Structure 1
């Protein structure tokens, strides 16, 4: 590795680290000031959130906007090099533009691989910690949607169903429980009703109170039983029986793959949310390399207007790129696009653009 390689890698990582630290600090201060009243209204001390929520929230934030941070960093330091005629001097010394771009590729590959590991294995752990308290930073209506009680239902497999009239996901407790099992001809063969239910974490089973059982025999006769309390396991913990949209964020990729397979076997038709999460974990790190070369192509040529013009173009393109992921998630969840296409579409659009601009610049 030559002197120029080390110089550019140092510039890349130094600028990226500075922008990461600066923006994280600014966003953290703004977010704390905005959410402080809600946090205190819910009976928490701000110090609790500064140690138990915000460190994990920062990890989530950084990984969400990693592509923007990389893109802005490369635009910034490459534009300064171009304005100072450093790039002209390097290429005039006999190095090709492709040789000049090599440290950009090495650094972006390192950041991309680092992001890949974080996305697949570390970020889910951080999301578990973050999601424990996130509801208490929201307004009353959104908070109630997450930690309040609501009707839920679950399809265990093609023949077994659970319905709960009012269930609180945080407390894992509900009322108006009904479990029904059908045979292959969709004939009811077993029913279990209970007035109250809750999940026993220690014993890993459901506790059903004031229950009534009905078993339908082959000759259509019925056996009825009732009692004060009964214990049941339905193959899954309540988090997976009644999953919410955030569940996928809290599972490592091997766990998420197993969960998706189980949901597919159960006949769950709302898998796209979890598939989006799965494919985005790889698509976003790849975008680090794509946006690095797009930024290099845009900023390596000295322009009238200098750094300001390049930064304006870079920030606009970076936000379009990242927020297109959010828009495509909605499209995918509505089943307009397959999740794998939706999550890779930004890379599929920007990669050819980056390649065209890069080779145009290299051939000048």
Structure 2
């Protein structure tokens, strides 16, 4: 069986690699053609940001993110494809007839799927965040004007530093890290205002890692409700976090390795921030997606290992349909979780919890035939 194991592993990895390269090339060509007008607009803002610049500094990291997102589906369709061909060529019948059990026949599928899942797990937790930092520096320039404005434009911003400390900025530009109408407030445990700092302008000093407040006014409220006022032209303050963490966008969670993301979530919980489901979704998905590779491998094996009328075509049709259901369920459950209708853990593991018993039942049914 060792020769057959090597044969199946070679088929598995060969088909998977072919699908991976094919998807990357097709999606790259389609996406570049679609986004060329937006890239040309980016070039007007910065002459160096031409198409070649994006092909070097954006698309390799974008493709890695895309591949990781659809990796389990690529595995599923690959296993459906090469296993159906083996079944149609009666190779599986010959192997089982030689005395090998179906469980023994499935061993190389298990070994290969675990191998890919472990690589995916490592990439998801440690490598992908680094790639996302590179990708997210330019991704906003590939959006339409409305979505680009959400990432790079000017909008009101607020942050909760602790259960009693708050920051509000009337107008904050995320790209320039500069704003106007700054307010910092500190309360006691009874929600009584203790201290207020206002400034007409604020910007982030990247070199010194500080916020610089211009035309500021300080108000301190004493125990007897008397007020102490102070004002000045410039004041430097360190609120313990960078603007990206004080005023995060939806891309922040993608940029952090898992230890950094866990630390960020715990810190936000301590501050009393209850709007963390998007970050928790990112955290749990990094593990649930690699696990789905093993589940979908055995589901594909169970569906495709028996010769059927319609052959490869019917198996691919079923496989692609299930793949769309799987991907759609993940994306739909993200929205459900962000609306707080389901916990992030359950939302990101729910597709696996549904597909696992289905794969197990079909596998045992096939093994007992």
**Bin of the TM-score, shorter chain as denominator length:** over 0.9
- Looking at structure 2, the residues matched to 138 and 238 of structure 1 have their Cα atoms a distance apart, in angstroms, of 22
Corresponding residue SS for 2:216: strand
1:29 offset after TM fit, Å?
0.4
Q: TM-score, normalised to structure 2's length?
A: 0.98
Q: Which residue of 2 aligns with 1:7?
A: 7
Q: Which residue of 1 aligns with 2:350?
A: 345
Q: Which residue of 1 aligns with 2:145?
A: 140
Q: Which residue of 1 aligns with 2:120?
A: 115
Which of 122, 133, 158 aligns to 2:163? It is 158
Point out where structure 2 has 5 or more consecutive residues left out of the alignment: 44-48
Which of 124, 128, 131 aligns to 2:136? It is 131
Q: Which residue of 2 aligns with 1:272?
A: 277
1:95 and 2:126 matched? no
- Looking at structure 2, the residues matched to 234 and 240 of structure 1 have their Cα atoms a distance apart, in angstroms, of 11
Q: Which residue of 2 aligns with 1:66?
A: 71
1:292 and 2:297 matched? yes
Q: Which residue of 2 aligns with 1:32?
A: 32
1:193 and 2:198 matched? yes
Q: Which residue of 2 aligns with 1:19?
A: 19
Q: Which residue of 2 aligns with 1:261?
A: 266
- Looking at structure 2, the residues matched to 320 and 246 of structure 1 have their Cα atoms a distance apart, in angstroms, of 25
Corresponding residue SS for 2:207: coil
- Looking at structure 1, the residues matched to 250 and 41 of structure 2 have their Cα atoms a distance apart, in angstroms, of 26
Provide, for residues 152-201 of structure 1, a one-character-per-residue CA deviation record: whole Å limited to 9, x for no partner: 11111111000000001121111100000011121111110001101111
CA contact (8 A) 1:180 1:192 kept: yes
Q: TM-score, normalised to structure 1's length?
A: 0.99
RMSD (CA atoms)? 0.7
- Looking at structure 2, the residues matched to 5 and 61 of structure 1 have their Cα atoms a distance apart, in angstroms, of 30
Provide, for residues 243-263 of structure 1, a one-character-per-residue CA deviation record: whole Å limited to 9, x for no partner: 111110100000000000000
- Looking at structure 2, the residues matched to 119 and 22 of structure 1 have their Cα atoms a distance apart, in angstroms, of 22
* Total equivalences in the alignment: 364
**Runs of 4+ residues deviating >6 angstroms:** none
Q: Which residue of 1 aligns with 2:46?
A: none
- Looking at structure 1, the residues matched to 245 and 38 of structure 2 have their Cα atoms a distance apart, in angstroms, of 29
1:145 offset after TM fit, Å?
1.2
Q: Which residue of 2 aligns with 1:303?
A: 308
216-225 or 342-351, which moves further after superposition?
216-225
1:133 offset after TM fit, Å?
0.5
1:226 and 2:231 matched? yes
Provide, for residues 251-280 of structure 1, a one-character-per-residue CA deviation record: whole Å limited to 9, x for no partner: 000000000000001111111110000000
1:318 offset after TM fit, Å?
1.0
Q: How do residues 165-244 of structure 1 correspond to structure 2 at under 5 angstroms? A: 165-244=170-249
Which of 326, 330, 333 aligns to 2:331? It is 326
Provide, for residues 192-214 of structure 1, a one-character-per-residue CA deviation record: whole Å limited to 9, x for no partner: 00011011111111000010001
Q: Which residue of 1 aligns with 2:252?
A: 247
Corresponding residue SS for 1:42: helix
1:146 offset after TM fit, Å?
1.0
Provide, for residues 214-249 of structure 1, a one-character-per-residue CA deviation record: whole Å limited to 9, x for no partner: 111111111111111000011211111111111101
- Looking at structure 2, the residues matched to 283 and 358 of structure 1 have their Cα atoms a distance apart, in angstroms, of 21
CA contact (8 A) 1:148 1:169 kept: yes
Point out where structure 1 has 5 or more consecutive residues left out of the alignment: none
1:317 offset after TM fit, Å?
0.3
